[in-house]
Amino acid sequence: MPIERPATPLGPIGFVLPTFVQDPNLQGVVPTWAPESGPTDPPDDGDTLQSLPQSTVGPLFELRDMCARAEALGADALWVCDHLFWHGPSLECMVTLSIAATAAHRSMLGTCVMQLPLRHAPEVAKQSATLQTMTGGRVILGVGVGSHAGEYEQAGIDYRGRGRQLDAGIGELRRCWASGHGVTVGAIDGGVNERYRQLPEPPPIPVWVGGSSEAALRRAARLADGWMPLYLKPPEYRAAVERLAKEVDRAGRAAGSVTASIVLFVSVDDDADAGRRRGTGWMSSFYGIPAKAFDRHLVVGTAGEVARVIADYRHAGAEHVAVYVTDDRPLEQFERLTSALPAAGVTAGR
């Protein structure tokens, strides 16, 4: 399997867009992320939320503004999570990334992660190929199986077979992307259907596998170009990266074939107790389980303290850290964090 790397070098810090609104005052209405003071780096020349007619200020502009500002603050990648059926408002990941692509012109764009078994793989292949072509190669397609049986039931998909379905889906993605070379995609009786292909053939699209389980790690080593777990402490992560390298070798692939990354939930606050209460409360609302379940998984502290934890993950083998700020309006915390990263030895914003 060829190694697919992003078309441009992937920097160390990613920003997960807040597409799952937890504030009950915002749920049931159009989600909004705009700060009261307005944007500092508007996506359109001369436009700010204040200068535009009130009728045109809405979620589309606000999302574009957030993406532009996150990139200006040092985000090397913009990531979007994925749920088709959820207990609260959420935005669809590929649509959101398409909007982000119009506002951020340097950052990579990735799904973090798409539950591929819930979707029709050829459609995902076409969507991601179109976005990859239009952005000149800035897309990373993160995929996974998810862990919510009810969501699979709503989609009419067998939850117990999701691992096999993901393996098959990854193969189908690659066949669709290669159909421009005459590779068989859905031809009858094994014949090559020369007429029906997915064109234009996109720049290479890296496929990353999400998940912290051993099955996810092995799947990434066999089938993927990157691995994106969560909920691992730095020592656990270091050991997992070592196991990943062994699995890559066992699969007969070259060392370094799989980019090691991690998703990190953070709460930046000078008052650690307040930051923990706010962050775990947000995560509790997000997942619908008690806040105490997230005590060990949330990174809490001052900007400098959180930056040093990110540096620990980098030293443990993470080539990229996707920061998920546990707040509906995360830019203020992200700005404080990125300002503190250089002192911790991490340079974002390539």
- For residue 165, is it within any domain? yes
Length of the chain: 350
Whole-angstrom distance, CA of residue 31 vs CA of residue 227: 30
Q: Which domain holds residue 311?
A: 13-344
> Residues in the chain with pLDDT < 70?
1-3, 5-8, 26-57, 181-193, 350
Whole-angstrom distance, CA of residue 198 vs CA of residue 208: 21
Question: Which residues are 80's β-sheet partners?
Answer: 111
Residue 54 pLDDT: 46
Is the CB of residue 319 less than 8 Å from the CB of residue 12? yes
CATH code (residue 288): 3.20.20.30
The CA-based dihedral angle spanning residues 132, 174, 228, 86, taken in that order and rounded to the nearest 10 degrees: 80
Whole-angstrom distance, CA of residue 291 vs CA of residue 273: 13
> Exposure string (b/e) for 198-230, b if CB count within 10 Å is 16 or more?
beeebbbbbbbbbbbeeebbbbbbbbbbbbbbb
What is the crossing angle of helices 303-315 and 234-250, to 10°? 30
265 three-state secondary structure: strand
Residue 26 pLDDT: 61
Residue 349 pLDDT: 74
CA atoms within 13 A on the CB side of 223: 23
| C-alpha pair distances (Å), 67 with each of 29, 36, 79, 194, 262 | 21, 17, 10, 40, 20
Backbone angles phi and psi of 35, in degrees to 5: -70, 150
Q: Count of domains in the chain?
A: 1
Residue 1 pLDDT: 58
Token pair, residue 202, equals 């996109």
Whole-angstrom distance, CA of residue 217 vs CA of residue 237: 11
- For residue 256, is it within any domain? yes
Residue 179 pLDDT: 83
Whole-angstrom distance, CA of residue 143 vs CA of residue 127: 14
Residue 183 pLDDT: 54
- The C-alpha angle 207, 197, 178, rounded to 5 degrees, equals 35
Token pair, residue 263, equals 């998703």
Q: Give which of 192, 326, 339 is closest to 265, Cα–Cα.
A: 326
Whose structure tokens read 């001052």? 302
Whole-angstrom distance, CA of residue 208 vs CA of residue 108: 13
> Is the Cα torsion angle 32, 34, 37, 43 positive or negative in sign?
negative
Is the CB of residue 262 less than 8 Å from the CB of residue 321? yes
Token pair, residue 334, equals 């992200």
- For residue 65, is it within any domain? yes
- For residue 258, is it within any domain? yes
Q: Give which of 231, 233, 234, 229 is closest to 244, Cα–Cα.
A: 229
Residue 94 pLDDT: 98
- For residue 231, is it within any domain? yes
- For residue 58, is it within any domain? yes
- For residue 132, is it within any domain? yes
Residue 58 pLDDT: 77
Predicted TM-score of the model (pTM): 0.90
- For residue 4, is it within any domain? no
- The C-alpha angle 229, 207, 307, rounded to 5 degrees, equals 40
Q: Give which of 213, 204, 182 is closest to 195, Cα–Cα.
A: 182
